[in-house]
Chains A and B, each alone.
Chain A
């Protein structure tokens, strides 16, 4: 079945550092890919998405590019802030079916 693998955390960075959170997927077809963010005690917020190969999703300084050849959708941000501290989930869906989530990566940004 379809699956999503994320790098294990927690990831701890200093403010203004460069962020990469790796995400790879396994799917039989051509899924849509997502990054969701969860702040403490809250639900998930859609951060960005990409629906086809080579698409780049971007939002609030975060970017991720749909790489079909490497089946990856790595999340990047050039300069993180303390307010970016949260749990980040990579996910995929196909044909309007259920979302398949990765395990989540905790990001901690220190001032």
Chain B
């Protein structure tokens, strides 16, 4: 149980295009989902927290107009990187917290974004 999937697992795009990454909780309802960014050999950096049906809360320094987050249902959140540039290349990981719990997050397998 408590499986989180991400799609796509890898994406390569040209500079200036937008990319959408999906995060799904497969066997539980997730009232809260989180989006992280991980640089090579580094820890995870929280980008934003999204609650189902409401606007995402972004961490300081994260551009909300560049990283659009939508959490339209209890099992799906999306991250759209708009007008991507090479510096946006990174490993993006989502996590989900199960409805009715307050501590444990379950992580997706990650999405490797490369912007040419």
Contact = CB atoms under 8 A, between A and B. Distances in A.
Interface of A: 32, 34, 36, 41-46, 49, 51, 89, 93, 95-96, 98-99, 101-104, 106
Interface majority SS (helix, strand, loop, mixed), chain B = strand
A96 B93 CA distance: 19
B93 to A, nearest CB: 5
Contacts of B42: 103-104
Interface stretch (B61-69, B71-79, B82-90, B98-106): B98-106
A95 B46 CA distance: 17
Given A95-B102, A101-B43, 18 more contacts: A32-B103, A34-B104, A43-B108, A44-B107, A45-B107, A46-B104, A46-B105, A46-B106, A46-B107, A49-B103, A51-B103, A89-B44, A96-B97, A96-B103, A98-B49, A101-B44, A104-B42, A104-B43
How many chain B residues sit at the interface, stated as a range, is 20 to 34
Contacts of B108: 43
